[in-house]
Amino acid sequence: MKSITGGLMESETKNKLLGMVKVGEKGQIVIPKDMRDLFNIKPGDSLLALADLKQGIAIVKPDEYINFANEIFNTASKKE
């Protein structure tokens, strides 16, 4: 990691970030601005939360996952 500023660590390629978030009383978190910018996350966007007890929680844009799910459903309906 190259530098630590404002609680964020930036890699030398600027395509990887590590940031600390705090969980509020209602279970809400704020995604750091640098990460929102990197993934083009805007107010009102929907994100998909994935959880695995061993691996943790991932928050992703759902576009690719929805496309993947649609492919599965389309393939399954073609077999019927």
**Tokens (6 digits) for 20:** 């600390």
Q: How many residues in the chain? A: 80
Task: Answer for the pair 18, 1: CB distance below 8 angstroms, yes or no.
Answer: yes
**Is residue 30 predicted with pLDDT exceeding 90?**
yes
Domain boundaries defined on the chain? 1-43, 46-80
Residue 9 structure tokens: 């660590």
Please state the pTM of the whole predicted model.
Answer: 0.62
- pLDDT per residue as tens digits for the range 35-57: 999 889 999 999 998 899 999 99
